[in-house]
Structure 1
Amino acid sequence: MCCTSVLDKDGVSAAAIAGEMVSFLATKNKSLSQKLSAIYEEYGYHISKNSYFICHDQKVIHSLFERLRNFSGKPDSYPTECGRFCISAVRDLTTGYDSNQPDNKAVLPTSRSSQMITFTFSNGCVATMRTSGTEPKIKYYTELCAAPGNSDVTHLKKELDDLVEAIIENFFEPTKNKLQPKPE
């Protein structure tokens, strides 16, 4: 969003602002790519990897998310790790649970009609698993926000790839749950 009101849904205003930025940078003999690299160096690299699984069985979807909510057999006993990755916080916007809040109550809006759990990892990665409201999909969104100066992009991408693999194996369990991967 480029202003206080959103006048379009397809990114037209963002494209116009990006065009202005490219034009301005050209007056400084800089490219958009050079500016982005400078931003990464100052603020750290932000890398994301997102995809989904197809599942037509609502019972499987419910079971998958309930397993994550009752990981040790007790309510609100979410996983504390995923493979080699330690989980530092959990926010569940289906139930209203947020381990980052003093009272464990989410401050963001909650909805029992859809599934959505966000895991924050000690390495700076954040992963959100959620259902689609319009399609038979279980989506995941992952991002790694590296500290400034941590500019080994190959290592950072591998770290995020390894986390996604662990989430797929340990949380989604696609073989057990008969999930279909996103078509190539």
Structure 2
Amino acid sequence: MASVRILGLDPGLRNTGWGVIEADGNRLRVIADGVVRSDDTLSLAERLSQLYDGVAQVIAAYAPDEAAVEETFVNRNPLSTLKLGQARGVSLLVPARHGLPVAEYQPSQVKKAVVGTGAAAKEQVQMMIRTLLPGCMIASPDAADALAVAVCHAHHRASAQTLGQAILQAELKQAGKRRR
């Protein structure tokens, strides 16, 4: 199984966290992490453009093979939810425009994959990211969340590959029995 480079994104209009990891089987290694920031004195369109350019620069710099984006939760303020959704749209669009497959995960899925429970606190997620990715220097809480999204995707894709291999083996075994 070849290693794969995964870009995790934690969308936000003010700060979009990003993290790039490399998954080689069960081994995970951090490549880099950071935050793309937008200037809140600019118009919404200009801010979304800043996010687009920033995520595109991350993709150009680190050449990921796949991307994973955290799904948006709905909060009490409909306008804030709408703006967050637009930032999330940019986070989905940029990797897709660069030809990357993009997976989406709910916050509870990410927490469960990293900590073991979908109700984990942010501090627990950050602690586990430091444990799972030794030596990582987390740039911010948004970057930690993005690394968690990447780790979640690495776990899900490994499980899917294992399941796919098991199904293939079972089908080959069944085909061998039919030939006899």
TM-score band, normalised by shorter chain: under 0.3
Going by fraction, where is helix more abundant, 1 or 2?
A: 2
So what's the TM-score if we normalise by structure 2? 0.23
Q: Choose between structure 1 and 2 for higher RCO, CA contacts under 8 A separated by at least 6 residues.
A: 2
So what's the TM-score if we normalise by structure 1? 0.23
Q: Larger C-alpha radius of gyration, 1 or 2?
A: 1
